[in-house]
Amino acid sequence: MAGFDRALLHGRCTLGMALREVLAGCLDYNADRIIGISTRFAAPFFPGETLRVNIWREAHGLAFSADVVERNVSVLSHGLIELYG
């Protein structure tokens, strides 16, 4: 439990959920253009919560963040997906 009152979802799983939305919404499920991915794990995400992924274009790729709707807190911040071309 690591000091939490309930089980939390592993950060890499949360990142995977966010990246799936980026792939679906912006890259037509084609990961071949991805050079690199970085993000900050800002807060825990608990199973059963609603994850809202925000995506916008930047000069070198796609920026993203992910928020928990119920708690109005960012769980992933400063996300960047670097792309070829």
What 3-state DSSP class applies to 12?
A: helix
pLDDT digits (tens, 9 = 90+) for 17-70: 999 999 999 999 999 999 999 999 999 999 999 999 999 999 989 999 999 999
Quote the pTM value. 0.90
What is 27-84 written as a DSSP string? Answer: STT-GGGEEEEEEEE-S-B-TTPPEEEEEEEETTEEEEEEEETTTTEEEEEEEEEEE-
Q: For the chain, list the domains and their CATH numbers.
A: 11-83 (3.10.129.10)
